[in-house]
């Protein structure tokens, strides 16, 4: 074990570490096969309850698309003009988002879904809460006096119609009965 810190041992002990290594190895093999990759993400979160912000944001996008939600995307979040992303979320926006662009998250035309932080809010309120409540989790936020958030969608492995149909048939629990699409 790592040390006397029981919480640290619980999260970073050999069993947890071995599971993370196994999942990382499987993910590397799955990069070329999008159906298998998304199945792996769903299974890791469902069975092992292991996932990081990328996995949970991607699952939010999967659930939204499986249920017919338009303009839902997962991707990286940046502070101001930083080159390095500090977190991943899913968004629902009133506009179609295009690849290779960064979008400023602000106002009430974007809803931020952040399963890792267990919050769903309009972008303007999400930014306020990040600044006040989550500075300890994200050191990048401590250094910024004036802050805006930019979002870069993940189009590296798009959720195609075939993948969505396969996820619906293999994971019916992703289908939300009486799902009401969010319209902004």
Q: What is the pLDDT of residues 78-137, one digit of tens each?
A: 877 777 677 889 999 988 888 888 888 877 889 999 888 888 989 888 888 887 777 666
Show the CA angle centred on residue 171, arms to residues 166 and 64, nearest 5°. Answer: 80
Q: Are 70 and 159 in contact (CB under 8 A)?
A: no
Helix (H, G, I), strand (E, B) or coil at 111: strand
Residue 13 belongs to a domain: no
**pLDDT tens string 23-41:** 555 555 555 566 666 776 7
Residue 68 domain flag? yes
Confidence of residue 13 (pLDDT cuts 50, 70, 90): very low
For residue 147, the Cα-to-chain-centroid distance in whole angstroms is 21
What three-state secondary structure class fits 179?
coil
pLDDT value at residue 8: 42
**Looking at the domain assignment, is residue 23 inside a domain?**
no
**Domain contains 20:** no
Give strand pairing partners of 73.
91
CB 86 within 8 A of CB 140: yes
What is the domain range of residue 58?
Answer: 31-171
pLDDT confidence of residue 67: 92
**pTM for this structure?**
0.72
Query: Contact 41/47 with Cβ under 8 angstroms?
Result: no
The answer as to whether 112 is a domain residue is yes
Give CA–CA dist 176/179, Å, rounded.
Answer: 5
- Is residue 116 situated within a structural domain? yes
- d(CA 41, CA 48) in angstroms, rounded, equals 10
Query: Under DSSP, is residue 109 helix (H, G, I), strand (E, B) or coil?
Result: coil
Please report the pLDDT score of residue 2 as a whole number: 37
- Count of the separate structural domains present in the chain: 1
Q: Please, what is the average pLDDT of the chain?
A: 75
Tell whether 6 is covered by a domain. no
154 CB neighbour count, 10 Å cutoff: 18
* Residue 112 region by backbone torsions, left for phi larger than 0, else alpha for psi between -120 and 50, else beta: beta
Any idea what DSSP says for residue 174? G
Q: Is 82 among the domain residues?
A: yes
Using pLDDT thresholds of 50, 70 and 90, give the confidence band for residue 150.
confident
């Amino acid at each position: 074990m790592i040390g006397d810190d029981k919480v640290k041992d619980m999260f970073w002990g050999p069993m947890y570490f071995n599971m993370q290594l196994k999942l990382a190895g499987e993910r590397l093999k799955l990069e070329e096969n999008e159906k298998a990759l998304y199945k792996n993400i769903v299974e890791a979160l469902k069975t092992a309850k292991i996932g990081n912000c990328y996995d949970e944001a991607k699952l939010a996008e999967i659930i939204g698309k499986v249920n017919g939600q338009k303009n839902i995307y997962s991707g990286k979040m940046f502070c101001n003009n930083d080159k390095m992303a500090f977190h991943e979320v899913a968004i629902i926006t009133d506009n179609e988002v295009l690849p290779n662009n960064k979008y400023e998250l602000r106002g009430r035309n974007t809803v931020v879904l952040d399963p890792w932080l267990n919050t769903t809010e309009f972008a303007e309120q999400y930014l306020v809460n990040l600044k006040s409540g989550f500075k300890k989790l994200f050191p990048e936020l401590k250094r910024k006096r004036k802050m805006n958030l930019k979002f870069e969608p993940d189009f590296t492995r798009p959720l195609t119609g075939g993948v969505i149909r396969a996820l619906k048939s293999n994971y019916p629990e992703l289908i939300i009965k009486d799902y009401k699409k969010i319209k902004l």
